[in-house]
Amino acid sequence: MGEGLNRTDLPSAGAHQRIVVVGGGVAGIHAALQAADLGHPVVLVERDLALGGHMAQLDKTYPTLDCSMCILSPRLYAINRHPLITLLVRSRVDVVTGCAGSFRVGITQRPGYVDPNRCIGCGTCHRKCPVKVPDPFNVHLGTTKAIRALYPQAVPSVHAIDPDHCLHFTHGVCQKCVKACPAQAIDFDQKPRFLELEAGAVILAGGFDLLDRHSLATPQWLELPQVITNVALERYLSSTGPTRGILDLPGLDGPPRHIAFVQCAGSRDPVHGVPYCSSYCCSATLKHAAILAGMPHVESVTICAMDIRAHGRECEPFFRRVQALDKVRIVRGKVGEIVPLRDSGGLQLQGSDGARPWTAKADLVVLAMGMRPSAEAQETADRLGLPRDSLGFAAIKAHHSVSTPRDGVYVCGTIKGPESIPTTVQEACAAAIVASKRLRFNGLPVSRHDHGPSLQPQAQGREGAERAASRTPEQGGGHQEIRIGVFICRCGTNIAGVLDTASLAQWAARLPRVAHAEENLFSCSTDVTRRMAETAIQKRLNRLVVASCSPRTHLGVFQAVLAKTGLPPGYVRMANIREQCAWVHKERPQEAFRKAQALIEGVVAQVTASQAAPVQHLPIAKSAVVFGSSVAALTAAIHVADAGHECLIVEAEEQLGGRLRHALCCRPELNLDRLYRYFLGRVRTHPRIQVFTRARLLSCTGSLGRFDLTWEVQSPDPESGRRRLHHRAGVVLIAVGAQPLKPQGLFGYGTHPAVVTQAELADQLARGDLDLGRSGRVAMIQCVGSRNDERPYCSRSCCQQAVSHALEIKERHPHVHISILYRDVRTYGTAELLYEEARKRGIQFLRYEEDHPPQVAATRFGRRSTLDIRWRDPGSGRRLHDRVDLLVLSSATVPSPENRTLSALLRVPLTRDGFFLEKHVKLAPVETSVEGIFIAGQCHSPKTIPEAMVQGDAAAAKMLAVLRAGELERPAFVAAIDPSRCSRCLSCVAVCQARAIEVRGLGPPRVDPGVCQGCGVCAAECPAGAIDVAGAEDKALRAGLTAMLSCGSF
């Protein structure tokens, strides 16, 4: 195999299994969790006081507008609880010596002067401290104290003292924190700790820094009081920010009415800033525009941008919704000047769209600042001996996604390039699986509690709640007196911005059987869940009700709290007052409050009548089935097989490889032909991989750990007919890829031979039969069949393909004139360098509008058959014309026809565009709503080949985490049939989609708990009322509905 693809580094028998993850942002958190789920002891090293990175600073996330902390908190909670993860905050990696499997990692931990084993995170010391200092978490817009936690929901919640500002260290006086601390946790004698750990692998998950004012063409802009950065706006909008979510900025006379965003502030600027696109800025601006447009005092939002790069999942539809808002205006071009207006106190922005100048006025200007890898991450990379490219990013081995030239060291996140949060999460999982595979190539390690001596005391902070053993029998769920605790979540401003949560808590305290009610800023944060468990034990609570957001995302967090108190599963319920009250009735707060009361009263009544769910133990089948043979599918299959598990590839076509077979030109560092030969060779020769081509799925029953699948294989020989195969698998991956649209009838495609698609052009380039004559002209039209009402999504890779193909044509035919007609050039990240190279090579980029697409007509020019293209220039309004010999259409990526069949049989939902729907667009991009079934590649959404490979890595990591478990232990929230009431009508058998109900002989039907999904359809269908579902018993549901409908507030 060629360089970059061979497997030359095999682990020694004594390879150390510990993995050190450097960086505690979203990349480091997910890399640590995934590596631990794969059975490795993990040391997570973070230089700051707590985990979270930049994501913890966000108020809401794009494009769902979810509360950022709401979706991050469960991961922080998981880090804090995982037995294989040791957390070292205020720490840095100084040196890494040795080789893969046998590294020695030197770490320095700064003292925090607070004993983490005593600190209870109560915040008393912070409130008593007299010293105010600029708050770095709020980008110095407000103040904090010399002793603090990083932010209210921080993990760990242990406070720390800044010796540069503490009066004890600077003047030898004060010590008010010592007197105030109820746990006697202050320890001024702490010294720096120097640790040397043995580790098998290192994952560098470094974050990013915003560009500073010196990266702007006009640094003086940031000296104006009406100009702020996008991160500063994020903190102003946050309920934990300096103004508690109210847009009241110093230097302004009042809340701003007219707001303007300046895109590419420092990005795409090789002279003053950085030459690449920072990828996140347009998304952040669209999110901010949507939020600001909903504020009554805001009259207009102006976005000044060269291009709007909304290229991710659900991003283009979000862009179209924002663009349609009455308050939002988008002007094209780069801002050249920002001039203060003396009469109004506002600002005037001056820019141009081509030759057309424009101006815009604003009370507040927000600079969408670009990013670069953080100085800390770059220094760490240098200390690890990792080469960096000319842009400062860590260099990656050829044809690898996360592997560096130093064996055993891997990178993920923005240290390797500008990334979105979903891509960062996938890279983190990819780094974990590649590191794990490197340490134990012939099978993943079994779970080991190998934290090492001297680490544990400083690593985690006080657990807080006592374990199940501390609850006496009469405090458990079995005694007669029911004592319910109700916990109301403010969810920042997501709920408290509409509902009076304090009054709601006071009202809930008066409900029957409610022994305790309280309000919290974020109920899912680690400090609150710890206090929740403590309160439950101290007040002898045996039922919990949490009124917050969706149980679909957070019920697991509160079930874990329940487990800490010693109560059995089934005694916690959630009332979704965010989505069902605060969000949908935002304009009617009084009615929303009354509806929240009704929901809470109903859930209290339901949990009162609920029963404990038994715990079931289910074996996991040690094999995987992969549908499709795309690059993502092959990547994942090889990982699973290399880990020692049987993997079956089921492909509908006769050949493997998906897009790799078509040799589309893409990034110059990627040789697709070599990749195709590599994957094909590995799959065909691997002893644990079976391949079934010309196959289609017929049925799937069962659930996580035991999927029973049947598919049909068509023999190449028609006389041999078809054969059916049955297999039980523990996990399933859907990676069937996607297809390029055949744009029949668009722009002359199908009627004129000179009109081709990018895929057809790639074939011509590969064969070498592209003949453009001596004076050829080529045009390319972007967004053909996508970004419209029929397909309101961006196909993501088209712009990169077009630019790559244009450069390839220029390389072979320098005389050819090439024009690319575009709506937005979306060469995001470092692909921007390709765009700049194309412009330098004379390739023209000409914009058109969706409402005025180019008109194409066949014509003749002498003996030549040519194409006339006419369109309108959006900037000047002039009609433009070009006559070309070849027209290339960048057509949409459309879902595979297999998607609908697989969706129906596997019960995995599709998006409205026909792609498979992930569990969460940000933090669970490869999981689905069906546990044990994962997705990867273009069946999920359009993406480039490197992105598909990373998603294949991430899916393999999730699959192997399941397969290595051996057995599932979970609450049995499943159906049960009462034989004394069953009439044996078998209605339940007919409606059960999971086929979980068995009929044996003349006896009553029986539910297989390992297959049952707990959906409750059988219970609703049963005419005799003989079926109950644990966690949703009829008695409890009736009690809840009765209480809800009879509530005086409803």
Q: What pLDDT was estimated at residue 666? A: 55
| Alpha-carbon span 90 to 536, nearest angstrom | 32
Is 80 exceeded by the pLDDT of residue 354? no
Dist. CA 801–CA 408, nearest whole Å: 33
Q: Which of 258-262, 592-596, 614-618, 853-857 has the lowest mean pLDDT?
A: 614-618
Domain ranges of the chain: 114-189, 211-372, 468-614, 623-737+896-968, 740-893, 974-1029
Region 936-951: mean pLDDT is: 93
pLDDT digits (tens, 9 = 90+) for 176-232: 999 999 999 999 999 999 999 999 999 999 899 999 999 999 999 999 999 999 999
Indicate the pLDDT class of residue 668, thresholds 50, 70 and 90. Answer: low
Please give the torsion angle defined by the CA atoms of residues 148, 152, 154 and 157, in that order, rounded to the nearest 10 degrees.
60
Q: What is the pLDDT of residues 986-1042, one digit of tens each?
A: 999 999 877 788 888 878 888 888 778 788 899 989 998 899 888 777 788 888 888
**Domain 740-893, CATH number (from 3.40.50.150, 2.40.50.220, 3.50.50.60, 3.30.390.10):** 3.50.50.60
pLDDT of residue 456: 41
**What pTM, to 2 d.p., does this model score?**
0.88
**What is the C-alpha separation between 458 and 1031, in angstroms, rounded?**
39
> Which one of 3.40.50.2300, 3.30.70.20, 3.90.1150.10, 3.40.50.10900 gives the CATH number of domain 974-1029?
3.30.70.20
- As a whole number of angstroms, the distance between CA 4 and CA 21 comes to 24
CB 740 within 8 A of CB 757: yes
HSE-up of 839 (CA within 13 Å, CB side)? 8
Please compute, for residue 807, the number of CA atoms within 13 A of its CA located in the half-sphere on the CB side: 18
282-319, pLDDT tens digit by residue? Answer: 999 999 999 999 999 999 999 999 999 998 888 999 99
Burial code (b: 16+ CB inside 10 Å, e: under 16) for 909-946 equals ebbebbbbbbbbbbbbbbbbebbbbbbbbbbbbbbbbb
Report whether pLDDT(6) > 70.
no
Question: Cα–Cα distance between 385 and 204 in angstroms, integer?
Answer: 12
287 closest CA partner among 479, 451, 66: 66
Say whether pLDDT at 1045 is over 90. no
Structure-token pair, residue 602: 């109903």
Tracing tokens 């820019």 back to the chain, one arrives at: 351
Determine the pLDDT at residue 441.
Answer: 61
Query: Which amino acid type is present at position 77?
Result: Y
pLDDT category of residue 829 using cuts at 50, 70 and 90: very high
- The CATH number corresponding to 114-189 among 2.40.40, 3.40.120, 3.30.70, 2.40.128 equals 3.30.70
579 near 549, Cβ under 8 Å?
yes
Common-topology check for domains 468-614 and 623-737+896-968: no
pLDDT beyond 60 at 269? yes
**Amino acid at site 932:** G
Does residue 471 carry a pLDDT above 80? no
By the 10 Å C-beta count (0-12 exposed, 13-18 middle, 19+ buried), 833 is classed as middle
Residues 6+ apart with CB under 8 A from 453: none
Dihedral (Cα; 398, 403, 406, 408), 10-degree rounding: -150
Residue 806 tokens read as 């244009």
**Is 3.30.450 the CATH classification of the domain at 468-614?**
no
Mean pLDDT of 595-620: 88
Crossing angle (nearest 10°) for helices 315-323 and 281-293: 40
839's enclosing H/E stretch is: helix 832-840
- Fold classification of 211-372 is FAD/NAD(P)-binding domain (3.50.50)
Structure confidence at residue 450 (pLDDT): 42
Mean pLDDT throughout 757-761? 91
pLDDT of 819 above 80: yes
Phi, psi angle pair for 534, to nearest 5°: -60, -45
Report the amino acid identity of residue 449. Answer: H
pLDDT of 390 = 92
- In this predicted structure, the answer to whether residue 680 has a pLDDT above a threshold of 70 is yes
Does 765 score more than 60 pLDDT?
Answer: yes
State both tokens at 849.
Answer: 């509008």
Give yes or no for residue 13 having a pLDDT over 70: no
- Host H or E run for residue 350: strand 347-353
Cα 98 from chain centre? 34
Percent of the chain exceeding pLDDT 70 equals 93
Whole-number pLDDT of residue 457: 36
SS3 call for 178: helix
What pLDDT is recorded for position 12?
43
CA 241 to chain centre: 23
pLDDT at 929 over 70: yes
Task: Please give the mean pLDDT across all residues of the chain.
Answer: 88
Query: Looking at residue 1048, what is its pLDDT?
Result: 64
Mean per-residue pLDDT, 516-525: 88
- For 715-760, list the strands marked E by DSSP: 722-729, 731-734, 738-740, 755-757
Looking at residue 475, its pLDDT comes to 42
* Range from 36-50, 72-86, 364-378 carrying the lowest mean pLDDT: 72-86
**Can you name the residues that pair with 97 across neighbouring β-strands?**
104
Burial (CB count <10 Å: 0-12, 13-18, 19+), residue 409: buried
- Tell me how far apart the alpha carbons of residues 389 and 380 are, in angstroms, rounded to a whole number: 15
Residue 654 CB neighbours (<10 A) = 9
Architecture of domain 623-737+896-968: 3-Layer(bba) Sandwich (3.50)
The helix/strand/coil state of 297 is: coil
pLDDT tens across 766-784, in order? 888 887 776 689 999 999 9
State the pLDDT at residue 554. 84
Beta strands in 892-1018 (DSSP E): 893-895, 933-935, 967-971, 975-977, 997-998, 1006-1007
Instruction: Please confirm whether the linkage preceding 156 is cis (ω < 30° from 0).
Output: yes
Continuous segment of H or E residues that includes residue 763: helix 758-767
